[in-house]
Structure 1
Amino acid sequence: MQNGISFVVLGCIFLIIFLIIGILSLQNEKYLLKFDIPILLILHRMNSKRIISVCKFFSSLGSIPTIIGISIVLILICLIEERLSYIPYILINNLLLGIGSNFLIKLIFRRRRPRGKKLVRATNTSFPSGHTMSTLICYSTLFFLLNQSIGDGLISLILSIAVFCLIILIAISRVILRVHYPSDILGGLSLGLFLVSITNFLFLV
């Protein structure tokens, strides 16, 4: 029960953060740009071919085909191990929330992407970062499911650090590749954390 309350409280905090950033993007974007521009100036200097190649690789780990592929593998594992109760958790997190909801939310905010040449293809609007949000949801789902099997301990700690680092690297790569503002990343992270908190409360507590 205590874990359930923690998920709900954390979810509400992350939702508030997302709403603050979202409202600013609609009403007072200039305040967000005061936060965004200095970070953009630093990260956009990282423009060597090697760095861009690495960023493109990490960005691909948050793409829709990758998310769908991971979801299929997780579902197959659940079927083989007869853990059918986890399948709705995977489908709702990775496909419905991680991919589907982001398209709808972007229609509300319609924030334009940063000006200038984009280093990877980006078709829709900027806020929140869909890559960041879907990556956080997908790899958090993977972590929580694995953690059900391995339990708490050193392996769980190492896995959580690895997942955290992967999510951050994917998020930063989207700024370096010039398709997102840093505040888009924060929006994607906060919304993803809110959704993961709620689904964990509903399915795992």
Structure 2
Amino acid sequence: MKTAVKIQLSCAFLALLIFILIAFGVVVDSTWLAHFDTWGFSLVREPLSPNRTWFFKNVTRAGNEKWSLVLMFTLAILFIFQKKLRATCFLLINVGVFGYVFANLFKYLIHRPRPHIVHLIQASGFSFPSGHTMNAVLLYGSLIILANYYLANDGLRFAVNSFLGVIIVALPLSRIYLGVHYPSDVVAGYCLGYAMLVFSNFFIFKFNQLKRS
């Protein structure tokens, strides 16, 4: 196994461990986690301003479940017509199974209420982990991986990866700023989403470059 692959898998296992640690902290209502969330809110939410609120309200829409599922199915159909079956499976598993089913399963199991602060948008359901964050990592992270496999033009690939990378960073921050998720929800969503993305990439593609046909 190549060194780069070992590093990525090691990082995925570390991310999974961090997720488990945070989940345990949520279940037992750890003091250290409360301090972390307080620090995270002050870092991201201050100051609240009309311009920042407008920006994050629009960014957060890119992680809505309905939008993610519509985009997933649209791209999956496109991949099927192009006979890219592994790409189709990769996208459906990451977004449909991991990003939707698993995220909602963990929300139901852990039952963490949303933060008791002012919400700048409406949000229902439970808080942990952040589904929008998992969607950001799994959907847009999957597209980054597929772009690296299939896009031959270096300039276009760089532009796509940069745009998607900005979404992966900004979208989770929007959930903290808007007050609908604890910072620990977002970190947990990042960690779980990243681990699932790396594992699915390994088992479906074996981290090998695909033919661009």
Structure 1 runs (4+) greater than 6 angstroms displaced: none
Which amino acid counterpart does residue 72 of structure 2 have in structure 1? S
Q: Is 2:14 the counterpart of 1:17?
A: no
Between the aligned partners of 1:154 and 1:123, the Cα distance in structure 2 is 41
The 1-side partners of 2:73 and 2:47 are apart by 35
Contact 2:86-2:205 at 8 Å conserved across structures: no
Q: Which amino acid aligns with 2:23?
A: G
Root mean square deviation, CA, Å: 1.9
Q: Is 1:133–1:189's contact at 8 Å kept on the other side of the alignment?
A: yes
Q: What is the aligned partner in structure 1 of residue 30 from structure 2?
A: 29
Taking structure 2 as the reference length, the TM-score comes to: 0.88
For 1:182, the equivalent position in structure 2 comes to: 183
Q: Which runs of 5+ in 1 are unaligned?
A: none
Moved more, 84-93 or 182-191: 84-93
Inter-partner Cα distance in structure 1 for 2:87 and 2:136: 19
Question: Does structure 1 conserve the Cα–Cα contact (< 8 Å) formed by 2:107 and 2:128?
Answer: yes
Matching residue of 1:62: 63
- The alpha carbon displacement at 1:148 in A equals 1.0
Greater RCO, CA 8 A, separation 6+: 1
1:120-199 to structure 2, matched below 5 A, reads 120-150=121-151, 153=154, 155-199=156-200
Once residues 39 and 168 of structure 2 are traced to their aligned partners in structure 1, the CA distance between those partners, rounded to angstroms, is 22
Paired amino acid for 2:103 = N
Per the alignment, in what secondary structure is the counterpart of residue 63 of structure 2? Answer: coil
Report the residue type matching 1:17 in the other structure.
I
Tell me, in whole angstroms, the C-alpha distance in 1 between the residues paired with 2:203 and 2:11: 14
State the shift of 1:131 in Å: 0.5
Identity of aligned residues (%): 25
| Residue correspondences, number | 205
SS, match of residue 119 in structure 1: coil
**Deviation at 1:191?**
0.4
Structure 1 counterpart of 2:135, one-letter code? S
Give the CA deviation at 1:155: 4.3
Matched, 1:77 2:78: yes
Paired with 1:33 and 1:175, the residues of 2 have a C-alpha distance of 14
Gaps of 5+ in 2: 207-213
Checking the alignment, whether the CA contact within 8 Å between 1:133 and 1:188 is kept in structure 2 is yes
- Residue 200, structure 1, aligned to residue 213, structure 2: no
Q: In terms of mean alpha carbon deviation, does 130-139 or 84-93 score higher? A: 84-93
Q: Partners in 1 of 2:203 and 2:35 — Cα distance?
A: 38
| Matching residue's letter, 1:98 | G
TM-score relative to the length of structure 1: 0.91
